[in-house]
Amino acid sequence: MQEKFQLQSIPVKSERSLQTLVENRSAYTLENCELNVFETHQKASNVRLVFEDLVLTSMLRGKKVMHLFGNEGFDYLPGESVVVPPNEEMAIDFPEAGAGNPTQCIALAIAGEQIQATIDLLNERYPKEDAQAGWQIDKDMFHLVNNQELAEIINRLIRISINDKTREKDILASLALRELLVRLMQTQARELIEANYKRLSNSNRFAHIIQYIKESIREKIDVEKLSDKACMSRANFFRKFKEEFGYTPADYILKERIRLAKQYLQNPLNSVTQACYMAGFQNLNYFIRAFKKEVGTTPKAFQLALHN
């Protein structure tokens, strides 16, 4: 299961200060975006919501059931985000909300001009390997699990919108929005490849590389030779891979190995040493250091926490 990165908490309002118990809205308006914080303190169903701009929503607490594009509803939980196109109606259920268990979610509405300017800049300066595709926000990859990079930049925008009182806050927010859009498109690209790499491996060189890495993850992978498998020059491959996914190939391999090691550590019969080598690491000390840096705790502490 993909690891979810939670967003920073925002204090919940007391019920006496709410204008409504269902989707009470607090808005923080900036030049190129508006941060909305929604709270619901009682059960409700089929609550309708529409924004004129593209909206990135992210759950902070509680549970919603979200209905989009006329499809069946899906559970929407903390650590997840949903991208909603302009003028697309959301229908939302709150099956578990209550006075002691409110739901809380942000909705960041982003001006279309800001989005287009960022996409134009990326297409001009950092064109994709597949020039016909270009940079774009993928409307089909709308339900995302927050990775660390995406969570960090959303948190920064929350802090700027709510806490920053300086005259420069609009400039800071515009810079952060540009990074958010890049991270969002990179996250969508990674998730698209992750979900479809086998099907795409014959037509997409990066899907081919992802498939090779996943199939060879327990073996020693020569990162320098990945460019040959992609039929690209070394410099171009490394640059385009990082632009596409936000990680270097070596970082991607490391994250894959740590993800695999975490799976092995879920079995209490597997030792840290066994998990290390089964996940493709060649050195136990390096594995422990890399795991702690990535996860925030040692492999042994991680394993003990799972079984206590």
- pLDDT class for 307, splitting at 50, 70, 90? confident
Span 45-70, average pLDDT: 96
Span 16-24, average pLDDT: 93
CA atoms within 13 A on the CB side of 169: 18
Reduced DSSP (H G I as helix, E B as strand, rest coil) percent helix, strand, coil of the chain, to 5: 45, 20, 35
Helices 169-200 and 112-125 pack at an angle, to 10 degrees, of 60
Indicate if the alpha-carbon torsion angle 93, 55, 34, 8 is positive or negative: positive
What share of the chain in percent tops pLDDT 70?
98
pLDDT surpassing 70 at residue 130: no
Residues 232-279: tens digit of each pLDDT? 999 999 999 998 888 899 999 999 999 999 999 999 999 999 999 999
Number of CB atoms found within 10 A of residue 270's CB = 16
CA atoms within 13 A on the CB side of 249: 27
Range in 13-17, 37-41, 210-214 with the lowest mean pLDDT: 13-17
Spell out the domains of the chain, with CATH numbers in brackets. 1-198 (2.60.120.10), 201-308 (1.10.10.60)
Residue 291 contacts residue 299 (beta carbons within 8 Å): yes
- Say what the pTM is: 0.82
pLDDT surpassing 80 at residue 198: yes
Residues 293-302: tens digit of each pLDDT? 989 899 999 9
Mean pLDDT over the full length of the chain: 92
Span 62-72, average pLDDT: 95
Number of CB atoms found within 10 A of residue 99's CB = 9
CA atoms within 13 A on the CB side of 213: 26
What's the confidence (pLDDT) of residue 76?
Answer: 97
- pLDDT class for 25, splitting at 50, 70, 90? very high
pLDDT surpassing 70 at residue 66: yes
Question: Could you write out the DSSP letters of every residue in 180-242?
Answer: HHHHHHHHHHHHHHHHHHHHHTTT-HHHHHHHHHHHHTTS---GGGHHHHTTS-HHHHHHHHH
pLDDT surpassing 90 at residue 140: no
- pLDDT class for 132, splitting at 50, 70, 90? low
CA separation for the pair 116, 112 (Å, rounded): 6
